[in-house]
Amino acid sequence: MAQAIIISRIAPGTTISARLITHQIIKRMPVTFHNQDTDFRLPNKRRVAAWVRETITSEGFVAGDIACIFCSCESHLEINRRYLGHDYYTDVITFDYTDYEGKIVSGDIFIDPQTVASNALLMGTEPSTEMLRVVIHGVLHLCGHGDKTPAEEKKMRALEDRYLKNCQAV
């Protein structure tokens, strides 16, 4: 339906690429935040969503449909076991649905707030800052950045630090 609205605004005889039309539609796609089996509530959701979209744009992509799902450590562990075959706790699990050809970033980012808080304590950082780091870490995965090798991990950390400096959400 949105495509028909945008197409109807194009003057007859005007040619426009499907990619441009798609990008105009995608600009309306949300960054959403959900809770599953946890009482955690992310503060400043609108500012965080805007920061996520700005980061994606800086990475050369358009923000598609992105969901950040905060869940209990038990739910997170079950996701890690079922879909990744890992039997350990982790702070973030990202499911990437990005259209790299169309440069449209989409995905689900599952975050365990309890593990994030524990990691913040271990690293001597504020839990709110560590939460934002984990959110942007998931977003950077959706933008194609990895962290499996030491070089990738170093680059990922540098990108996280760069984008955290730009964050007005805390």
The pLDDT of residue 2 is 32
Q: pTM above 0.85?
A: no
Q: Closest Cα partner for 144 from 69, 67, 55, 51?
A: 55
144 — alpha (psi -120 to 50), left (phi > 0) or beta? left
Q: What is the pLDDT of residues 56-103, one digit of tens each?
A: 999 999 999 999 999 999 999 999 999 999 999 999 999 999 999 999
For 8-66, the DSSP string reads HTSPTT----HHHHHHHHHTT--EEEEEES-----SSHHHHHHHHHHHHHHTT-EEEEE
Q: Of 147, 33, 62, 170, nearest to 160 (Cα)?
A: 147
pLDDT, average across residues 103-127: 97
Confidence band for 167, pLDDT divided at 50, 70 and 90:
confident
- Give per-residue pLDDT as tens, 12-50: 444 444 444 444 444 556 899 999 999 999 999 999 999
Please report where in the chains the tokens 């950082």 appear, as a residue. Answer: 125
Q: What is the per-residue pLDDT for 169?
A: 58
Question: According to the model, what pLDDT value does residue 121 have?
Answer: 97
What pLDDT, on the 0 to 100 scale, is given for residue 30? 87
Q: Hey, what domains does the chain have and what are their CATH numbers?
A: 30-165 (3.40.390.30)
Map residue 148 onto helix, strand or coil: coil
Cα 54 to Cα 32: distance, rounded to the nearest angstrom: 15
Instruction: Tell me what pLDDT residue 64 has.
Output: 95
pLDDT for res 6: 32
Amino acid of residue 153: E
Q: pLDDT at residue 113 above 70?
A: yes
